[in-house]
Structure 1
Amino acid sequence: MNTADVHTLLGPYVLDAVDDIERAAFDRHLRECDACRADVSELREASARLADGAWSVPPPGLRDNVLAAIGSVRQIAPISPAPAPAPATAPARSSRRLRLVSAAAAVVVAAAGAATAAYTLQDHRVRVEQARAEAAQAAESRVRALLASPDLVVKEEPVTGGGRVTVATSKLHDAGVIMLAADAAPSDGRVFQLWTIRSAVPIPEGTLAPGQTAAVQIVEGMGQASDVGVSVEPPGGSKTPTTPLAADVKL
C-alpha cells in the first residue's frame, strides 16, 4: 500500500472500521508520519471533551465539539442489520481451482479469477469509502444546522457508573443530537442502548458495540419525544429498555 492509499485510512482507522491488514499497515505508517499521529490523537480526544463540564445553557464550544466528535466517534444506526457473510477470498478460490482442474488449466483460470476478484474487491472498497464520506458530510451538515438553530436547547444527565449523556434539540428542525460519553463500558459484555420516549412508548435509537463508551447520534422527530434514555442491554440491544435506566434526560 503506497503513502497516498494509506492516508485514506485515517478516518476508518479512528472509527475502528478497518480490517487487520489495514490496521497493521496504518500502525506502521503512524510510526513514520507525525502529521497522521497528531490527527489520530486529536480525533480520539474529541469524544472525551463531550464529558467535560456541566452547563445549563449551550456553551460556546458545543458546535465545535460535536462536529469533531462526528468524525471521531462511531455513529450507530437505530436498527443493527445482521452482518453479511464474508466473501471467500481470492486465494481460497484459486486454491479450490488448483485442486479441481489440471495444472495447465488452473494457471489460466486462477489468473483470470484473481484479476476479477481483485477488481471487484477494490471497486467495493471504493464504493464503501465513498458512501462513508458522503454519510459523514451529510451528518456534519445536519449537525451544523441543528447547533446553529436559534431555539437550541441543551440538557444533560449523569450516567450510572460515571460519564454524561447530553441532548441538544431544536423544535424548528424537529431533530436533536444525543451525545453519550460514559466513563466505562457495561460489565459482562453488555452494551449501552439509546432510546427516545414518545407518547409513553420507548423507541430504540441505536445500540453501541460491546466495549463502546461514546456515541453521537442524530435523531429526527425529536419534537414528539418527552425523554431520552440510556439503558444497559445484552449485546445487540433489546426491544424494550431494561430498567432502571443508566440515564434519563427529561426534554
Structure 2
Amino acid sequence: MTDIHALAGAYVLDAVDDVERVAFGRHLAACETCAAEVAELREAAARLADPTWSVPPPRLRAEVLAAIRRTPQERPGRGVRSGRPGVGRWRRRAALAVAAGVLAAGAGAVTWTVQEQRVRDERASVTALEAERERIRAVLTAPDAVVRSQVTPGGGRVSVVVSAGRDEGVVTLGGLARPGTDRAYQLWLIADGAATSAGVLPAGSDAATVLVTGVRGKGAFGVTEEPAGGSRQPTATPLTVISLT
C-alpha cells in the first residue's frame, strides 16, 4: 500500500484519484506534519499563480528540462529502494507536476511580456497625444495667429487658426453632414491653384479638431468629401474654401 505521508505533493496538485483524495483528507486531520507540508505547498502554488509574483528568467525552462534529462529514471520492473513502497512513484508524480507548473509560469511570463508591451504602447500614445495638444495650444495662443471661419452650405462650420511663425494651423470642423461609411472629409492647403492634402478624417466622421503643418505661404484652406482613405487630389467640388490671407 502507498505510504500516505508521500501523498502531500500530489494531493496539493490534485494528482490523486478519488480514493486517495478521501483517504489523505482524513489523514490530514490527525497528522500535523502533513498538514504543515500541505500548507507550504499550497502557498508556493499560490505564488506561482499570482500575477504579481516575480517573472522567472527565460533560461528557467531550459534548465528545468535539462535537469529532468539528467535525473535517472526508475526503469519498469525494478523495485523501489525506499523502505516505503510507492514513495518514489508519488514523488516523481509530484515532481513532474511541479515542473509542469514551472513551465506554465514560463508561459505566463510570455503573457506578462505582451501585456507590458501593450502598456508601453498605450503610454507612448498618451505621450504623443499630450504633445499634440501642447502644439495646438501653442498655435491658438501664438502672437501671429490668424483666425478664419465659415459656415458650410449644410449648416456646419469650419474654423481655421494658422500661425505662419510656427508653420502650423488648427482646423475645427463641426455640424457637417455625415458622410457614408465609405466616404471621408479631406483637408487641403491651397497655394497658386495647387492643393496639398493636410489630412483625412476617419470614414463617416462629421466633426474633428486637426493639427496641420506646412501652412506658411498657403493662400487658402479647403474641405472636400472623398472616398475613405482620401485622394491624391480633390475629386469633388470643395465643401468650403477659406482664404488665409
The answer to whether structure 1 residue 130 and structure 2 residue 161 are counterparts is no
Describe the shift of the 1:188–1:127 C-alpha distance in structure 2 as closer, same or farther (beyond 3 A). Answer: closer
Contact 2:181 2:203 in 1 (8 A): no
2:199 counterpart letter in structure 1:
G
Whole-angstrom CA distance in 2 between matches of 1:106 and 1:212: 51
How does 1:172-251 map onto structure 2 within 5 Å?
172-187=165-180, 189-251=182-244
TM-score when normalising by structure 2: 0.53
Q: Distance in 2 between matches of 1:241 and 1:106?
A: 62
Partner residue in 1 for 2:139: 146
Unmatched runs of 5 consecutive residues or more in structure 1:
1-103
- Does the 8 Å contact 1:230/1:246 carry over to 2? yes
For 2:114, the equivalent position in structure 1 comes to: 121
Q: Does 1:112 align with 2:106?
A: yes
How many residues were matched structurally?
A: 148
Question: Could you list the per-position Cα deviations for residues 162-206 of structure 1 after superposition, in whole angstroms to 9, with x for gaps in the alignment?
Answer: 311100012222221111113331136311111111343211111
Change (3 A) 1:196 1:110: farther
- 1:13-33 Cα deviation digits (max 9, x unpaired): xxxxxxxxxxxxxxxxxxxxx
Matched letter for residue 171 of structure 1: A
Bigger Cα Rg: 2
Find the aligned partners of 1:147 and 1:128 in 2 and give their Cα distance.
Answer: 29
Alpha-carbon distance change, 110 to 241 in structure 1, aligned in 2, over 3 angstroms: farther
- Partner SS state of residue 123, structure 1: helix
On the 8 A contact 1:199/1:224 being kept in 2, the answer is no
Q: CA RMSD in A?
A: 2.5
Identity %: 40
What displacement does 1:109 show?
6.1
Query: How far apart in 1 are the matches of 2:157 and 2:169?
Result: 16
Task: Please give the residue correspondences for 1:55-134 in structure 2 after superposition, counting only pairs within 5 Å.
Answer: 112-117=106-111, 119-134=112-127
For 2:227 and 2:206, how far apart are their aligned partners in 1?
A: 15
Gaps of 5+ in 2: 1-96
AA paired with 1:225?
A: K
Partners of 1:186 and 1:244 lie apart in 2 by 15
Q: Structure 1 residue 114: deviation in Å?
A: 4.5
TM superposition score normalised by structure 1: 0.52
Secondary structure, in 3 states, of the residue corresponding to 2:216? helix
Residue of structure 2 in register with 1:25 after alignment: none
